[in-house]
């Protein structure tokens, strides 16, 4: 089961790396795609690659491919670095979605603003997003540092009051355990050995043991609930997930709701004097905008939600459910960058032809990509469409 899970995750990681790399190369090699909005999409692809790389060690440790008991300190460092980069990438993607929603909103309400949205302006906005995301991650960084200091305390002893038959395997399944004088209820399964790092994918429940004292080093790649005090870790997790996940996606949804209402106003009886061609162009614009909004926002919410729930409510899950839910959370996060890259390819016009050009297969590309007259016609149609939007906005 662990090997099968690792193979599936490895395939998803490999496909994510390949597809996102092709998206980045396509955006930089095709001149028609070198505009401010596509630079934002390129930033999403770069962040997807970072998210993919950050999940490699987490997948290897979760699936049991790596032995974490040989070098516990190295495992702790790699776990926390991977966890930090995972949420850092998720934070950047979430706030980039806010920037994309703002770009669409301003373009609809003020099409002339598009001339001011230069490449330099877009690059500055992306740099600001990366810096803001880094400041947001200070909350998690504090949790890692505080947890590491707690791990360095001498004689950290866990007292298990449970029914266990094998003294080398423990499960904190029933009902409480004490840590540094405090009592908690948890479902984190651990395996103990000479030099122990607990891992949540191992579980052995047995009988005929009343109380066992074990000194262990605590580490979990996807949580910092322990060895921090329970309420401290809980509040750190809530604040971090709110700033990295809940707040940006909520802002994005609000922007798209306002934009959808604005588009609905345009198509009501208040705009009866519009030409059929303008109405057709606006209908296509509305369809693309709504599709883009729902795909990117809903996919982001659904893919990150299992990981957020896994961090927020670890004590609610039973040991078996904890393992299953961990696999679900890991799979959704691994699939997130791959789905993002596929959405970018689907949204980009003539993306298949552009990918062929990027790969050097120009002779297989569509004729309209290399035909200057057709390209000029598309540019003129695009200009007329923007003029129509400006005239409608001016009369609003």
What's the confidence (pLDDT) of residue 333?
A: 93
| DSSP label at residue 315 | T
What's the confidence (pLDDT) of residue 386?
A: 46
Q: How far is CA 150 from CA 130, 147, 180, 229, 251, in A?
A: 30, 5, 10, 9, 36
What's the confidence (pLDDT) of residue 91?
A: 95
| Percent above pLDDT 90 for the chain | 19
Q: What is the pLDDT of residues 285-318, one digit of tens each?
A: 666 666 777 788 899 999 999 988 888 776 555 4
Q: What is the pLDDT of residues 155-202, one digit of tens each?
A: 333 333 333 333 333 333 333 333 333 333 333 333 333 333 333 322
Mean pLDDT of all residues in 372-376: 42
Q: Is 321 exposed, middle or buried, given 0-12, 13-18 or 19+ CB atoms closer than 10 A?
A: exposed
Do residues 252 and 297 lie in contact, with contact meaning Cβ atoms separated by under 8 Å?
A: yes
Angle (CA) 244-248-250 rounded to 5° is 125
DSSP 220-263: -TT---SSS-HHHHHHHHHHHHIIIIIHHHHHHHHHHHHHHHHH
Q: Nearest-CA neighbor of 396 among 275, 255, 273?
A: 273
Q: If you count them, how many residues does the chain have?
A: 396
Average pLDDT, rounded, for the chain: 68
Q: Nearest-CA neighbor of 323 among 173, 194, 195?
A: 173
Cβ neighbours of 263 (radius 10 Å): 17
Q: What domains are there in the chain, each with its CATH number?
A: 2-147+228-395 (1.20.1070.10), 157-215 (no CATH)
Q: How confident is the model at residue 72 (pLDDT cuts 50, 70, 90)?
A: low
User: Would you call 21 helix, strand, or coil by DSSP?
Assistant: helix
Cβ neighbours of 337 (radius 10 Å): 29
Locate all alpha helices (DSSP H) within the chain, ordered by sequence.
2-29, 36-62, 72-109, 119-136, 138-151, 230-241, 247-266, 276-312, 319-347, 351-358, 367-370, 372-395
Mean pLDDT of all residues in 39-64: 88
């Amino acid at each position: 089961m662990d090997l099968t899970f690792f193979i599936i995750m490895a395939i998803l990681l490999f496909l994510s790396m390949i597809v996102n790399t092709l998206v980045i190369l396509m955006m930089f090699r095709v001149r028609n795609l070198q505009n401010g909005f596509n630079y934002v999409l390129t930033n999403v692809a770069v962040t997807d690659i970072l998210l993919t790389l950050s999940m490699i060690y987490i997948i290897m440790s979760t699936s049991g491919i790596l032995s974490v008991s040989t070098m516990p300190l190295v495992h702790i460092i790699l776990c926390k670095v991977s966890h930090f980069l995972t949420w850092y990438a998720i934070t950047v993607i979430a706030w980039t979605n806010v920037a994309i929603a703002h770009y669409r909103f301003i373009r609809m309400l003020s099409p002339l603003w598009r001339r001011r949205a230069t490449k330099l302006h877009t690059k500055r906005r992306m740099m600001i997003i990366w810096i803001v995301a880094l400041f947001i991650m200070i909350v998690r960084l504090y949790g890692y540092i505080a947890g590491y200091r707690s791990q360095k305390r001498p004689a950290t002893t866990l007292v298990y009051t449970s029914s266990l038959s094998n003294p080398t395997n423990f499960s904190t399944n029933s009902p409480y355990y004490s840590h540094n004088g405090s009592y908690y209820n948890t479902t984190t399964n651990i395996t103990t050995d000479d030099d122990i790092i607990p891992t949540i994918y191992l579980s052995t429940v047995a009988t005929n043991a009343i109380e066992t004292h074990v000194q262990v080093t605590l580490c979990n790649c996807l949580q910092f609930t322990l060895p921090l005090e329970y309420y401290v870790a809980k509040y750190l997790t809530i604040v971090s997930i709110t700033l990295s996940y809940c707040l940006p996606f909520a802002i994005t949804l609000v922007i798209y709701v306002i934009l959808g209402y604005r588009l609905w106003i345009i198509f009501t009886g208040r705009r009866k004097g519009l030409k059929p061609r303008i109405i057709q162009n606006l209908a296509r614009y509305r369809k693309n905008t709504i599709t883009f909004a729902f795909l990117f926002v809903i996919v982001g919410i659904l893919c990150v939600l299992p990981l957020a729930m896994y961090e927020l409510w670890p004590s609610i899950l039973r040991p078996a459910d904890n393992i299953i839910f961990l696999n679900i959370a890991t799979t959704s996060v691994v699939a997130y960058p791959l789905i993002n890259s596929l959405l970018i390819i689907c949204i980009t016009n003539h993306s298949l032809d552009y990918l062929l050009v990027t790969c050097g297969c120009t002779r297989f590309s569509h004729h309209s990509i290399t035909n200057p007259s057709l390209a000029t016609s598309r540019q003129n149609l695009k200009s007329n469409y923007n003029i129509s939007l400006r005239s409608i906005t001016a009369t609003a």
